[in-house]
Amino acid sequence: MKSLKTVLLAGFACLALSGNAMAQSVTVYTAGPGGLIEKLAAGFKDETGIDVNVFQATTGKVMARLEAESANPVADVVISASWKTATSFAKKDMLLDYTSANAKTVPDFLKGPGYVAQGISALAIAWNPKSGTPKPADWSDLTKAEYKDLITMPDPAQSGSAYELVAALTAQPDLGWKLFEGLAANKMIVPGANAQALNPVLQGAKAVVFGAVDYIGLSQAAKGESIEVIFPKSGTVIAPRPMMILKTSSHQDEAKKFIDYVLSDAGQAMVAKTQLMPARSDVKADRPLIADLKILEVDPKTDRKAVLDRFAKTFGME
């Protein structure tokens, strides 16, 4: 009862105050993983004394909130799980041009004017060793009969990285849509976003995720789940997670300090701890790094809608 009163009182008090604007603070809108931003915020506060106000959701929800707020923006820093966010924000001239001193060892393709990667994930095969299926080594293995009815994949219409994987693989001259047609023939299901694709494999209803987000699988395995993350021989796509400062930010100095902190040794160590690949090439991590992976490029001219339509058609999702 007491807290009800507090809520109501706080509500009315804040009505008068109208929103944000505390002196020493920076507002960060970020896609997951949740534990990471909390640690970064705490570390940043310890080091600088600046508060971090966090809004955390999926990339889609972060973008929706940014979009809806555009008449009166609230965010200072945005961290997305999709590189495309950064490039198009930059094109629309929404970003503050800032290059952190700590970004020197971040490879060039992971930074641009006004944005820089926080960390990088890659897509992989997540396989349940208890499933009684042979361990797959490459994407095309999954078209074999052993995996019939046992494959899931995140929906490319809902997950940007899954789309990139489809776009990259179908652009391979030797693969094309044949691979996905083979998967469709193997009755692969597309049950939703990343978590929905992984869950049936954990419980054993399915055996393998085609295009699982690597750090989620790796951290599940670390927790003792029966899951193995396999980076296919023929290569995969990566999803760098861009950080950027909005031009509309009214706390640009604090925002810059925050970017510096995430790219500092301490910040990058936290990134590595979550099983993401750190953006700085000189930071070690306990997992395969960019240099160990064969990375497939996505032609920026690819027609996204056409790819999604063809994918949906192939898997009877129309």
Partner 1 sequence: MRLTHLKSRVFGSGGMIFAAVAPVLTILVAFPLLFVVLQAIFPDIARGIFANPFSRFVETLFDKHLIAWTLNTLMLGGSVVLVSSLVAVPLGILRGLFRVPFAGLWDVVFLVPFTIPPYIAALGWIMALQPRGYLEQITGLNFGGFLFSFWGVVFVMTLNVFPVVYFAVSRMVSSIGGRYLEAARVAGCPPMRSFWRITLPLTTPAIAASLLLVFAMSIEEFGTPAALAARSGFLVLVTGIEQRLSDYPIDLPGASLLSVILVLIAMAAFVLQHRIVSRRDFQTVSGKPGANRAAELGVWRIPVVMFFAIIGFLGAVMPILSVVLTASTRTISGGLTADNFSTENFAEIFANSGGAMEALGTSLSLGLGAAVITGILGTMTAYVVVRQRTVSSRILDFLTLMPNTIPGVVVAVGLILAWNQPWLPVTPYNTIGVLVLAYCCLLLPYPVRYANAALRQVSVSLEDAARVAGAGGIKVFFRILMPLIFPSILAAMLLVFAVAARELVATILLAPIGTKTVALFIWRQFEQGSVGMGMAMSVMAIAITMTIPVAVAIWARKQGRLF
* Interactions with partner 1, residue window 216-235 (CB under 8 A): 216, 219-220, 223-227
CB of 268 to partner 1, least distance (A): 19
Is the distance from CB of 237 to CB of 160 less than 8 angstroms? no
Is the distance from CB of 161 to CB of 236 less than 8 angstroms? no
CB of 122 to partner 1, least distance (A): 16
CB of 234 to partner 1, least distance (A): 25
CB of 150 to partner 1, least distance (A): 10
Contacting partner 1 within 244-273 (CB under 8 A): none
The DSSP output letter for 267 is H
Contacting partner 1 within 140-179 (CB under 8 A): 155, 157-160, 163
Of the candidates 24, 42, 46, 61, which one interacts with partner 1 according to CB under 8 A? Answer: 61
Cα→Cα distances 33→119, 189, 191, 275, Å: 11, 25, 21, 10
In the shown chain, the binding pattern of residues 8 to 47 toward partner 1, with x for contact by CB under 8 A and - for none, equals x-xxx-xxxxxxx------x----xxxx------------
The reply to whether 184 sits near partner 1 by the rule CB under 8 A is no
The Cα 45–Cα 285 span in angstroms is 24
The reply to whether 137 sits near partner 1 by the rule CB under 8 A is no
Contacting partner 1 within 98-117 (CB under 8 A): none
CB of 291 to partner 1, least distance (A): 26
CB of 81 to partner 1, least distance (A): 10
Pairing state between β 151-154 and 238-245: unpaired
Of the candidates 56, 99, 281, 302, which one interacts with partner 1 according to CB under 8 A? Answer: 56
Nearer of residues 35 and 176 to partner 1, judged by Cβ: 35
Cα→Cα distances 210→70, 151, 153, 173, 226, Å: 36, 7, 5, 20, 16
